[in-house]
Amino acid sequence: MNDDLNQPDPHEQFVALYVEHQVAIRSFVRTLLPNAADAEDVMQTASLTMWRRFAQFQPGTSFRNWAFQVAKFTVMKHVARKARDRHRFSDETIELLAQHVEQYDERLAGQRRALEHCVQRLGDDDRQVLAVCYSTSTPLKEFAAQLGRTPNALYKQLGRIRASLVVCVQRRLEAEGFA
């Protein structure tokens, strides 16, 4: 009985691991599924599958890698079911992208850490554009109208900001030895 009490609650264990790796899993799924709504659907299904099959997860091994495998098969099933829909990658491309993310997972985690620093270095104007574009409460078109600019101009600015963040993140990773 004491042993039972000392056993970690699987639910708590799962939530802890899932919360820790959620961003990495979401990024993995979104890489394989360019459509945001598809990615969200798959995240929900995959997280449920992970919970149901959590007993199969071997403690001591990488939860993230295990979750990637579950997510990959969920993506494959999703794509097969929606084969007729447009803008979905082929199985071959999904496999290549999954391999890439799995192989360079640590690097991608480093990118996410470095992003904090890089966002801080942005100017107020750029940070505001990022906040508006990524917070879904204000439509970009409306924000553009408030600024007296066209949505296209704002998209271009967003593209420039993302590109500068990519460069900043790369530089920071190189400084950390992720060349």
CA 178 – CA 6 distance, rounded (Å): 40
Query: Looking at 3, 137, 148, 177, which residue binds another protein (CB under 8 A)?
Result: 137
Q: Which amino acid is at 40?
A: E
Q: Is 128 in the site for another protein (CB under 8 A)?
A: no
CA 39 – CA 77 distance, rounded (Å): 13
CA 12 – CA 6 distance, rounded (Å): 13
Give me 159's structure tokens.
Answer: 């593209």
Q: Is 163 in the site for another protein (CB under 8 A)?
A: yes
Site map (CB under 8 A) of another protein, residues 31-70, x = contact: x--xxxx--x------------------------------
CA 95 – CA 14 distance, rounded (Å): 26
Name which of 65 and 93 has its Cβ closer to another protein.
Answer: 93
Query: Looking at 45, 64, 97, 122, which residue binds another protein (CB under 8 A)?
Result: 97
Nearest to 14 by CA among 71, 82, 66: 66
Q: Is 4 in the site for another protein (CB under 8 A)?
A: no
Spatial CB neighbours of 147, under 8 Å, sequence gap ≥ 6: 154
Binding site for another protein (CB under 8 A): 12, 15-16, 19-20, 23, 26-27, 30-31, 34-37, 40, 83-87, 89-90, 92-93, 96-97, 100-101, 104, 108, 111-112, 115, 119, 130-131, 133-137, 139, 141, 155, 158-159, 162-163, 165-167, 169-170
